[in-house]
Structure 1
Amino acid sequence: MSKVLLLEYFSSKLYELFRDNFLPSLLAEGFLMLRLLAEDFLQAGFGVLAAADKRLGACEKTLTSIDNVEEVFKLAACCDYFYVIAPCHRGRLAKLVSMLGSLGLRSLNPPLKAIECSCDKYLTYTKLRQAGLHTPYTVKVPSREGFDYVKKLVHKEFSYPIVVKPVCGDGCLGLSLAYDDDQLIRAFRKAQLYGDYILLQEHVNGEHVSASLFVKEGKATLLSVNQQLIELKPFNEESRYLGGLTPYDVKVDVDDFVKAALAVEAEGYVGVDAIKSGDKLFIVEVNPRLTTSYIALRKVSDFSLAKAFFSNKVERPSFKARALYYKKSTDQGKASSFNEFLVVEKKPL
């Protein structure tokens, strides 16, 4: 029986490798994705080692409890494959895929080239434009650039409001909406904390949507179109991804989602974020990793990611209901020390 090592950045204590801060706000969906992924592979007949902080994994039969990140590498010695869920920020996902691959395990993550392209939002932007897709107009600026230059650039190239964000980030990290020069400079200062380059981006009014796809040997299968619940805020508040609805009925050209995934040469599970504005679909980002929509796919469809990796052909799943998912704060129960958990409600089709 082949064994697969499943890891999630916060649940599996991988953040300790980089001395990163523990972010409870990202644990809610990460831990649930790890649990469902473990169930997925077990049902497909694999041996599974899904590493989880002992505070999370002690009561979960499908998870392997660990005290520290060093234990992850002991588990790796027993496995044939790996899949890691991790943020793109500061190259974390790419470094982990490279590190685990060097141990002799076969990666089920997208190729490093696709990860590095997708995690660089400006490189993704150029690839999307080359593919002829609509995408918000974007300018890349060094984070050390002077504020006078930034203001002049915005006055020349944009009109307010404008989106300001790091070139690499996840979960609205460092992202702000600026409505005037003062907010622009403060948003720029905020984004400076997260990297060497900052993106100034056209703000497109519309509905936030996404697509979940599976790409195999250059052929992309659309799994679902999803509604995204996102709050874009000025510099003094936190922009947040709040959840979504899967599947979501909306009139869009789904071929654009497919073109976006192929533009970055992705393989495996891919998420594509977009904004529907009028009759146009503006592609914003491509995520080379498992996204929260996977939770909904597992809850209300017959999709199996484990089977998709090893099948000759991947079919679009059938849905028995819709899933509404959102974060909720808690002061009680097992998750209390982690502040939030993810609620998934089933809705009729």
Structure 2
Amino acid sequence: MTTKVLVIGGGQNVEHEVSLASAAAVAAALRMSDHVVTCVTIDRDGIWRTDGGPSAATPAESIARALPLLADADVVFPAVHGALGEDGALAALCALAGVRVVGSGLRAGAIGMDKWATKLVADAVGLRTAKGRVVAADEIGDVEFDSPVVVKPVSSGSSHGVALVRTEADLLPALRAAARLDQRILVEEVVRGREIDVAVLRESGGIRWAAPPLEIHTAGPFDTATKYDGTARFTVPAALSSDEQAGLRRSALAMFDALGCAGLARMDFFLTADGPVLNEVNTMPGLTAASQAPRMFAAAGVSYPDLIARMVRGAGRG
């Protein structure tokens, strides 16, 4: 049976280009099987643009013109990372329209995007996170330096605005950089450990399972530049003991369930001598074939086109 899928890419945030790449890859994979694919791109200014469609003057007008595409779709695939996409905004629109959507709903997307709220959920289910505090953007001048810390926006992706601060002189510039992306800034202790990612997929029948973990190898912090300049190296499956793998899998599934995630989500951990420490959650991670989550499922024997098709089959109503 043919399934009509509306793929949405782009977005109004710093992950715009990454989202374009994910959307293009998803659309190409779906066109390889029994899917009829229509694409919409959200420009940086919020204008929704369809291939060959008339231009609109405002975001509201462009959304109105795109609504017939939404209504005609069997499933919407919102391959938009970051704010006004991954944070549940598009899932909420689909829920209001009564259209099935790939991935997590509004609540899981919103909480997963908020790194501070994610910590609270993790603590409630017994998962360790780095100790930290939230600072308002207008109070960054009052933050004191007492040891190396990690500074990051509370709600942003692809490590934009994230900095490892080793000296007092670097603290205020790092806080200012994070404040340009969010009015709330997270200041965390530095966790030393191996960087391990675990991807979880919820299938159409409701069964969810974790792919083999992936380890990230870098010479320094896994920051925005390192993520996309090709210098990072990935090992999948990661070289782990059976106990380490089991602990990471339990932690990833526990967080997936606690947030109420659907579709595909990636949980990022530091593996320390005392066990896993949750770093953050991605409810719509990078989705090119070379991205971390598809690499993990490839290691489990699930090809990229098959993974994307499974995500479409598992789509729910937000």
| TM-score over 0.5 (shorter chain) | yes
Q: Which TM bucket (shorter chain)? A: 0.7 to 0.9
The one-character-per-residue Cα deviations of 1:1-60 (angstroms, maximum 9, x if unpaired) are 4534242422xxxx3xx4x57854664455334433x25xx53x4x3314167xxxxxxx
CA distance in 2, matches of 1:177, 1:66: 45
Count of paired positions? 280
- Give matches, 1:196-207, under 5 Å: 196-207=183-194
TM-score by length of 2: 0.75
Q: Contact 2:3–2:36 (CA<8 Å) still a contact in 1?
A: yes
Q: Match for 1:9: what amino acid? A: G
**Pick from 193, 211, 223: which aligns with 2:198?**
211
- Give matches, 1:146-185, under 5 Å: 146-147=140-141, 149-151=142-144, 154-155=145-146, 159-160=147-148, 162-185=149-172
Q: Residue 281 and residue 191 in structure 1: after superposition, are their counterparts in 2 closer, same or farther (change >3 A)?
A: same
Q: Give me the CA root mean square deviation.
A: 3.2
Which structure 1 segments of 5+ residues have no match?
54-63, 312-349
| 2:82 corresponds to 1:88 | yes
Q: Contact 1:214–1:220 (CA<8 Å) still a contact in 2?
A: yes
Q: Residue 210 and residue 95 in structure 1: after superposition, are their counterparts in 2 closer, same or farther (change >3 A)?
A: same
- Give matches, 1:84-163, under 5 Å: 84-89=78-83, 93-147=87-141, 149-151=142-144, 154-155=145-146, 159-160=147-148, 162-163=149-150
| 2:286 corresponds to 1:283 | no
- What secondary structure does 1:198 align onto? strand
| 2:19 corresponds to 1:35 | no
CA distance in 2, matches of 1:96, 1:78: 16
The one-character-per-residue Cα deviations of 1:283-332 (angstroms, maximum 9, x if unpaired) are 11111114323432565623533336647xxxxxxxxxxxxxxxxxxxxx
Once superposed, which parts of structure 1, at least 4 consecutive aligned residues long, lie more than 6 Å away?
A: none
CA distance in 1, matches of 2:219, 2:185: 20
Q: Contact 1:8–1:84 (CA<8 Å) still a contact in 2?
A: yes
**Pick from 210, 214, 223: which aligns with 2:211?**
223
| 2:49 corresponds to 1:49 | no
| 2:249 corresponds to 1:246 | no
Q: Contact 2:125–2:254 (CA<8 Å) still a contact in 1?
A: yes
Partner residue in 2 for 1:260? 255
Q: Residue 66 and residue 213 in structure 1: after superposition, are their counterparts in 2 closer, same or farther (change >3 A)?
A: farther
Partner residue in 1 for 2:9? 9
- What secondary structure does 1:145 align onto? helix
Q: Residue 146 and residue 233 in structure 1: after superposition, are their counterparts in 2 closer, same or farther (change >3 A)?
A: same
| 2:310 corresponds to 1:307 | yes
Q: Residue 249 and residue 221 in structure 1: after superposition, are their counterparts in 2 closer, same or farther (change >3 A)?
A: same
Q: CA deviation at 1:88?
A: 2.5
Q: Contact 1:91–1:116 (CA<8 Å) still a contact in 2?
A: no
CA distance in 1, matches of 2:171, 2:83: 22
Q: Which has the higher contact order (CA 8 A, sep 6+)?
A: 2
Q: Residue 174 and residue 272 in structure 1: after superposition, are their counterparts in 2 closer, same or farther (change >3 A)?
A: same
TM-score by length of 1: 0.69
Q: CA deviation at 1:249?
A: 3.1
CA distance in 2, matches of 1:8, 1:260: 26
Which structure 2 segments of 5+ residues have no match?
42-49, 57-61
Q: Match for 2:302: what amino acid? A: D
Q: CA deviation at 1:196?
A: 1.2
Q: Contact 1:225–1:247 (CA<8 Å) still a contact in 2?
A: yes
Q: CA deviation at 1:175?
A: 0.6
Between the two proteins, what is the percent identity of the paired residues? 19
